[in-house]
Amino acid sequence: MMAKALRDPLLWASLALLALVLLMPDAKPAFAALFPALERPMFELDSFLDLTLWHLLLVGASSGAAVLLGVAAGIFVTRPSGAEFRVLLDTVVTIGQTFPPVAVLAVAVPVIGFGFDPAFIALLLYGLLPIVEGTIAGLEAVPAAVREAARGTGMGQLACLLKVELPLAAPVIIAGVRTSVIINIGTATVASTVGAWSLGLPIIIGLNAANLAYILEGALPLALLAVVVDLAFGRVLSSLQGWRRA
């Protein structure tokens, strides 16, 4: 049991991320040695723990909202009563996806100002497509015979959705959410162009000041964060499908 836990990549990736975030300032001599030309080799405007937590909050809030909206919309258009909105929904989420987040920020800032809010909206719109598509694909993959059996045995619409359709569609829906969240973790860096706190801050400042050390200091924890979250999703997915392996 213990040995198995120690071989767990999720555990090690999480510990590595934690260490990187907490111990980053201690790496200042290393960065100074790597980039001797730089006057400030270490980003010290805020702690990396703060930046990581803000980053997680931004991604969590926008992805959470995208999941609620996206799954609800996907369920709605796969019901007989919502079928006619399907094409409309497809169009809207595709536009949301093709519209670059930077452009959304440019439009949003004059309307709602700088900071967290415009970034939240841009990421929410950008993250909807994989979730909506995953929900629709997952629900449509539920075999017609299973749905007929559910109705034939006297399950109501809601019971059929909650007990049969969503559990069977869950792996495809979660896969969509996973894609969306991982993309959002990367995309959230642009939020720092409009003054939202995130791991993008050292990267944006580094780009403006041609400070490669800053860019690395933002990008390393960011990449590790994406790996940790991806591994966590993998864990959720396999736990949902225990019955397939039985």
Partner 1 sequence: MIELERISRRYESTVAVDDVTLSIAEGEFCVLIGSSGAGKSTVLKMINRLVPPSSGRIRIDGADTARLAVEALRRRMGYVIQSIGLFPHWTVARNIGTVPELLGWPRARRRERAAELLDLFKLPPGEFLDRYPHQLSIGQQQRIGIARALAADPAILLMDEPFGALDPITRETLQAEIAQIRRASRKTVVFVTHDMDEALRLGSRIAVMDNGRLVQVDAPLAIVAAPANDFVRELIGRDDLGLKLLSLDRVASRLRRGETAPGDAIGDTLTLRQALSRMIADGKDRLPVADAEGRALGAIHLADLLRR
- Give contact residues for partner 1 (rule: CB under 8 A): 143-156, 159, 163-164, 167-168, 243-244, 246
C-alpha dist (Å) from residue 46 to 27, 42, 43, 50, 199: 15, 11, 8, 7, 10
Closest separation between CB of residue 164 and partner 1, Å? 6
Q: Determine contact, residues 220/30, Cβ cutoff 8 Å.
A: no
Closest separation between CB of residue 243 and partner 1, Å? 5
Place of tokens 């019971």: 159
Closest separation between CB of residue 84 and partner 1, Å? 18
Closest separation between CB of residue 145 and partner 1, Å? 4
Residue 199 in tokens: 């791991």
Nearer to partner 1, 79 or 163 (CB): 163
Nearer to partner 1, 86 or 147 (CB): 147
* Amino acid identity, position 41: P
Residue 225 in tokens: 């964060």
Helix (H, G, I), strand (E, B) or coil at 36: coil
Residues 6+ apart with CB under 8 A from 154: none
Nearer to partner 1, 69 or 155 (CB): 155
Nearer to partner 1, 92 or 175 (CB): 175
